[in-house]
Structure 1
């Protein structure tokens, strides 16, 4: 990683500068102790005074990965030295721990890191339910995971829901908590945690609605619970909608936007709408090409 103290800023301590860019005090100590920091090409292990134009470089500290790699190439959407964005298919869990050998996106990422010689543990910044497809963001070390998790991720989803919504845009803000007696199911409940989901109807056909959802909070099953509570569960969602054999519910994590750590550039990553989703609706790309602003 390389940063420069801008010529427009006054001289300042190295630690102060790095922390102003989001580096934690703990990671600063680790970098300094490891001798990983360089200023203008010279290794340093102290908090010196930077001058405008000085360049600071470091390599993130290597991490051990405890996951058992799965020899499957993940579908990469974007990659930098800071993060990896992957397109998760429906039917695959995002993460499992330790030496588990069940298929998981995190294990595929572990294998990719291993093949690329990236010395990092696997740090999912965002997670999706097994049957939800779309963008999942991974940080390339613990420091970046903390920074990305603390920042604002703008998450936009596409869903196919049952029925016709009376209001074509709005805010769903019922608090969400665990359903009594269940370790999986959630419900809208006054005792739950605050939850806010904005929605906009993009199209309607044959008793179904194509809906764009934007999360303002990140509760478990948030879109599924809010849509069901509004009387319009996701197509195929047998947990919160009509009963049936478990399978694909039609929810797709379509787009994420965020500020990149250190650089402050805005990143926008889009996951193509999968074929099964397109087949369930049809004409999807013509609708999305317009990408109207979120209302409500």
Structure 2
């Protein structure tokens, strides 16, 4: 794959500095150098320490990424919300794990993406999953289609620059129409899976807005400002309002839904390859529509 930039610096600058300014990481630069890629200036191969004087076209050619044989392909359906050269955004159904685990080795979203890449005969077959959802949470999952795109998203995640919005249905009636949940989250001492509020946990911040009030439950729009495991589920349970259907955290059951009532409905991030914000929406699944009454 080829990525091109124009050097706009007015002072002498090294090629690698231009690349770093555009989000190229040192690890990617090593792959380009040692695994069949190239750095070009005005079409001529150069070293990354080459000095530029201004106005040059800098091109990075990345090597093909060979898929991991340990991740098997699946031909099960994939609901694609958006795709271009750099990113694939899919709508994950509830009941499907994001990545393989030892109980679910070949029936995950990552397996389906691997099968899709092979069916499309893409040169890059490495599955770069950049956001994940719990198995029983539905909605948007973002895949980068190459190493460079993955590193761009990693940087935005670390800077909390990505905007992720969820719709959740919590038990009881929330007092405030808008609020913040700000408690540290860590692993529960008695469980490998469960998380809890603990002083030794990692800082976690959740923001919510009430969308609709129903008998014995409240529909909320939720924004994650951090990305901890089970963050929304843990925060609302700690506040006394566990999600409907969330048995792990004490949520009440409902005949209208057989999993936690949580859906990732919007994802927004800056895409430097198109030089614009990229916003994707995922429609509400039927079980949540039934639960909240349309």
Does TM, normalized by the shorter one, top 0.5?
Answer: yes
Which position in structure 2 is the counterpart of 1:63? 65
Give the aligned CA root-mean-square deviation in angstroms: 2.4
Q: Distance in 1 between matches of 2:115 and 2:293?
A: 35
Deviates more, 1:134-143 or 1:43-52: 43-52
Pick the aligned partner of 1:190 from 179, 199, 208: 199
Deviates more, 1:141-150 or 1:179-188: 141-150
Q: How does 1:128-207 map to 2 (within 5 A)?
A: 128-151=133-156, 152-207=161-216
| CA deviation string 1:213-248 (max 9, x = no partner) | 111111110000101111111111111124669932
Deviates more, 1:209-218 or 1:263-272: 263-272
Is the Cα–Cα contact under 8 Å of residues 4 and 60 in structure 2 kept in the other structure? Answer: no
Q: How does 1:209-288 map to 2 (within 5 A)?
A: 209-242=218-251, 247-261=258-272, 263-283=274-294
Gaps of 5+ in 1: 284-296
Aligned: 1:109 with 2:113: yes
Aligned: 1:82 with 2:79: no
| CA deviation string 1:147-185 (max 9, x = no partner) | 211212211111011111011111101111122211111
| CA deviation string 1:240-279 (max 9, x = no partner) | 1246699321100111111224554211111111122112
| CA deviation string 1:61-111 (max 9, x = no partner) | 22222210001241111122222111100000000169x743100000001
Is the Cα–Cα contact under 8 Å of residues 98 and 134 in structure 2 kept in the other structure? Answer: yes
Which position in structure 1 is the counterpart of 2:22? 21
Is the Cα–Cα contact under 8 Å of residues 35 and 45 in structure 1 kept in the other structure? Answer: no
Q: Distance in 2 between matches of 1:244 and 1:210?
A: 15
Which position in structure 2 is the counterpart of 1:291? none
| CA deviation string 1:116-157 (max 9, x = no partner) | 222231111110000100110111223332321121221111
Q: Distance in 2 between matches of 1:46 and 1:208?
A: 58
Q: Distance in 1 between matches of 2:33 and 2:263?
A: 42
Pick the aligned partner of 1:72 from 73, 76, 80: 76
- TM-score for the superposition, normalised by structure 2: 0.87
Change (3 A) 1:270 1:251: same
Q: Distance in 1 between matches of 2:131 and 2:31?
A: 26
Which position in structure 2 is the counterpart of 1:288? none
Q: Distance in 1 between matches of 2:274 and 2:40?
A: 18
Is the Cα–Cα contact under 8 Å of residues 72 and 106 in structure 2 kept in the other structure? Answer: no
Q: Distance in 1 between matches of 2:9 and 2:15?
A: 16
**Count of residue pairs the alignment pairs up:** 283
Change (3 A) 1:81 1:37: farther
Change (3 A) 1:51 1:274: farther
Change (3 A) 1:182 1:175: same
Gaps of 5+ in 2: none
Q: Distance in 1 between matches of 2:10 and 2:241?
A: 53
Is the Cα–Cα contact under 8 Å of residues 32 and 63 in structure 2 kept in the other structure? Answer: yes
Q: Distance in 1 between matches of 2:290 and 2:80?
A: 23
Q: Distance in 1 between matches of 2:51 and 2:214?
A: 64
Change (3 A) 1:95 1:25: same
